[in-house]
Amino acid sequence: MDHLNRYESRATFRLLRLEYAVALVVCSALMLQHISEVRWWVAIVLFAYIDLIGYIPGAIAYRRARDSRIPKVYYVLYNTMHSFVTHAVVLGVWSAVAGFEWALLAVPIHLCGDRALFGNFLKSFGVRFEPVAVAAFVEFEERVAGRTSPEHPMPERV
């Protein structure tokens, strides 16, 4: 919502996902428009390596962990591999060395798809690697939305 209240309501979260959905459609349409020029092995490798490095190791560690706690390195790998900043560098270097090609659109298609279709953004160390509702956040969300019980009155407005 703003830099002091880093919280998205359900409506603003949906709108944020919609923005990524528009980018997903644009990138997908461009790739389809140039389908005969796409080197598919490059597109598949670029699409897959994001999760092969950034998600799958953490998902395996999470499922093996008895208490669902995994080392922070898995969060760092996920966030690094699911960052537009990382891939601006990767695709920039690729374009400088090998030239631009339409297969490079596989990266923004993957990243926009994760955000638009699944609601997956970067991971915070303060939550589990796989989505699990945090009770305190659920209560906070209810309080902000005005759905509170007498035991939990709304905070005073500033």
Q: Quick count: other Cβ atoms within 10 Å of Cβ 105?
A: 22
- pTM exceeding 0.75: yes
Q: Is residue 50 pLDDT above 80, yes or no? A: yes
Question: Given this model, what pLDDT does residue 144 score?
Answer: 84
Tokens representing 26 are 């644009």
Mean pLDDT of the chain: 92
d(CA 106, CA 83): 14
d(CA 142, CA 158): 18
d(CA 18, CA 126): 26
Question: Given this model, what pLDDT does residue 44 score?
Answer: 98
